[in-house]
Structure 1
Amino acid sequence: MGNVRSLTNITFGAQYQGSLERALFSTLTTLPCCFFLYINGVMLYTLRSKPAFRETSRYILLYNLLFADTLQLALSQLLYILAACRITMTFPVCGILIMLNNLMTQISPLTLVVMSLERYVAVCYPLRHAVIITIRSTGMSIAVVWAFSSLDILIRVLMMLTFPFEDLESLQMNDFCSKVAMFLVPMSDHYDKAYTCFVFLSAGVVIICSYIGVTIAARSASTDKVSASKARNTVLLHLIQLGLTLSSTMHSLLLLALVRILKRIVFVRIQTVLFVFVFILPRCLSALIYGLRDQTIRPILMYHLCCRLKLSVVPGRS
C-alpha cells in the first residue's frame, strides 16, 4: 500500500511548478499530441476510404489498433492537461476516464498478437490464408479482443466498488485523476501488476513464435522470399510496438523509482519529458510505420495529409 501512496503523491509535484512553466510544458505536450492525433485521424479516415482497405483483414486489424491508440492518446493528454491545470474531479468521473483508458491499453497488445498471427498464416499457409483469414474470422478476433479486455475492466470496477465510498464526506477527489489514484484498495495494485505481466508476457511469446515461424518459412524453397521477408519485418515491428506499449504501461513503476532519488521539481520536469516519449510517441508510431511503409496506403495517406493535393504517385502493391 506504501507504493500506491507514493505514486499517488507524485501528482502533487505540479504544485512546485510556476504558472509559466506549467503553461510551457503543457504547450510542449499538447502541440505534438495534436499533430499526431491529426495524423492518426487521417490514417483512420484513409483506412475507411477505399473498399480494398475495408475488406482486407490486415487493414481491418490495423484500423482497430489505430483506433485504440488514438483514443488512448487523447485520453492521456486530457488527463495530463487536467493535472497541469490542477483540476480535480469526482471519483465516478475519474473512474470512467481511467477505465476507458485502461481498456484502450489492453486492446493494443492483443491486436498486435492477432496481426502477427495473420502474417504467420499468410507466409506459412499461403494456400489456406484466404480460407482461415476471412472478414468474418477477423471480426470475431476483434470481438474476442474487446470482450477479453472488457472483462478485465469489469474486474477492476468490481474491485474498486469494494472501497467504502459511503465513509467519505464527499466523492470529490483530493488528488489529480490518474490510474494510480484509482488504486483504492491494495488488491487493485496487485491485480494490475499480475494482469499486465500476463498479457505482455503472453503477447511477447506469441509474437516471438510467429517471428521464428516466419523466419523458418522464409528459408524454404517453396516460399516467396520477398513476401516472407516483408512479413518477417512486419512481425518484428509488432514486437517493437509491443515493447513500446509495455514501456507506457510500466510508466508508474518508473516514476516511483525516480521520485525516490530526484528533487521534486526536477522529477516533475522529467515526468513531462517521459510523458512525451513514453505516452505520445508510441501512440503515433503505428500510423507512421504502416502509413509510410505500406505502398498501397502511402499515396492515399499523403494525398489526404496534403489536403487532397494531387500527387504524382501511383499506388503499388504491398
Structure 2
Amino acid sequence: MLSVGSSCSFFYINSVLLFTLRSRQVFCETSRYILLFNMLFADTATLVSNILLYILASLRIKMSYYACGSLILLSVLTITISPLTLAVMSFERFVAVCYPLRHAAIFTMRSLSIIIALVWSFSFIYILIRGFMLLYVFTTTSLDLHMNDFCSQEAMFFAPIFYNFEEAYVSILFLSVGVVIFASYIGVALVARSASTDKASARKALQTLLLHLIQLSLILTSTFGSTIITASAREVGRLALMRIYNVCFVSLTILPRCLSALIYGLRDKTIRPALRQNLGCRWGCSLF
C-alpha cells in the first residue's frame, strides 16, 4: 500500500502537470516549459515502468529472461533523459540571464527539437549497449529459460560486466552534467553582481540552478538502490531484504523522479494557477 499508493499519487500529479503544460499556448512556446515537459514525460515513463515491475514482483509472477530483459530495458530507457535535460535547462537559464538578447535566437523551436532529439538518441544508444551486453551474457552463460526469482534489475544485470559499465557510465554522465550546472551557476552569480543586471531575474535563476543541483543529487542517489540491495542480499534474510527493497523503491526510485512536479508546479508563478485549477477540477470530478 505504501509503495503502490505513493506511486499512484505521484503519477496522478505528474499526469495533471503534463496536461497543464500542454493546455496553454505559453507553455508550448517557451523553451524552459518545453524542456520541463520533456523531463517530466521521461520521469513519468520511468515511474510507470517501475510500478509495473513492482506489481509483477508483488504478485510473484515469474517470466523468462528474454521477457524480463525487454521490460528492464524499457524501464531504464528514460533514466538518462532527466540528467541530460537538467544540463540543457541550466544552460538555458545561463543564456537567459547572461545573454538575454541572444536567448530567442539560440533557443528556437528548431534548436529545441534538435536538442531533445539528441537527448533521446543518447538514451537509445545507452539502451542498445545494454541490450548487446544482455545478449552476450545470455549466449555465453548457461541459463534456464525461466527465472527463479521475480524480474528486477538486480536479477537481470548480475554479471560483473554490467557493474563495471554502469559505474563508468554513471560517473561520466553525472560528472559532466554537474560541471554544466555548476558552471552555469557560477556564470549567473558573476553576472548578477553587475549593476546593469536585473537582480530579481538573476536571483531567481540562481535559485533554479540550485534546485537543478539538488535534483541531480537525488537522481544520482537513485542509482545507489541496486548497490544497496545487492550488498544487503549477502547479509540479511529474504524477509528483511524485501523490506529494504520496499524502502529503496519509494525513497530512491519513486521520490527523486517525482520532485520535478512538486518543485516547478508549486514554485513557478505561471504554472501554479493552472496546476491548481486542473487539480481542483479533477478532484471535483472525482468527488462528483
- Give me the TM-score of the superposition, normalised by structure 1: 0.84
Task: Name which of 220, 235, 242 aligns with 2:209.
Answer: 235
Residue 178 of structure 1 aligns to which amino acid in structure 2? S
Partner SS for 1:295: coil
| Contact 2:154–2:230 (Cα < 8 Å) also in 1 | no
1:20 equivalent in structure 2: none
Residue 148 of structure 2 aligns to which amino acid in structure 1? N
Change (3 A) 1:172 1:295: same
After TM superposition, give the deviation of residue 171 of structure 1 in Å: 2.5
Residue 110 of structure 1 aligns to which amino acid in structure 2? L
Structure 1: runs of 5+ lacking an equivalent: 1-26, 311-318
2:44 equivalent in structure 1: 70
Is 1:189–2:173 an aligned residue pair?
no
- Give the distance between the partners of 1:256 and 1:170, measured in 2 at CA: 22
Partner SS for 1:95: helix
1:244 equivalent in structure 2: 218
After TM superposition, give the deviation of residue 254 of structure 1 in Å: 2.1
| Contact 1:68–1:104 (Cα < 8 Å) also in 2 | yes
Residue 84 of structure 2 aligns to which amino acid in structure 1? L
Structure 2 counterparts to residues 150-165 of structure 1, below 5 A: 150-165=124-139
- Give the distance between the partners of 2:138 and 2:111, measured in 1 at CA: 43
Residue 248 of structure 2 aligns to which amino acid in structure 1? L
- Give the distance between the partners of 2:138 and 2:52, measured in 1 at CA: 28
Q: Which moved more, 1:126-135 or 1:157-166?
A: 157-166
Structure 2: runs of 5+ lacking an equivalent: none
Change (3 A) 1:217 1:245: same
- Give me the TM-score of the superposition, normalised by structure 2: 0.93
Structure 2 counterparts to residues 95-110 of structure 1, below 5 A: 95-110=69-84
What's the RMSD between the two structures over aligned residues? Answer: 1.9
Structure 2 counterparts to residues 119-268 of structure 1, below 5 A: 119-165=93-139, 170-183=144-157, 185-268=159-242
After TM superposition, give the deviation of residue 127 of structure 1 in Å: 1.1
- Give the distance between the partners of 1:297 and 1:286, measured in 2 at CA: 12
Partner SS for 2:81: helix
2:86 equivalent in structure 1: 112
Change (3 A) 1:291 1:261: same
After TM superposition, give the deviation of residue 260 of structure 1 in Å: 4.4
What is the number of residues matched between the two proteins? 284
Residue 201 of structure 2 aligns to which amino acid in structure 1? S
- Give the distance between the partners of 1:182 and 1:266, measured in 2 at CA: 21
Is 1:42–2:16 an aligned residue pair?
yes
Percent identical among aligned pairs is 57
- Give the distance between the partners of 2:178 and 2:274, measured in 1 at CA: 32
Residue 106 of structure 2 aligns to which amino acid in structure 1? I
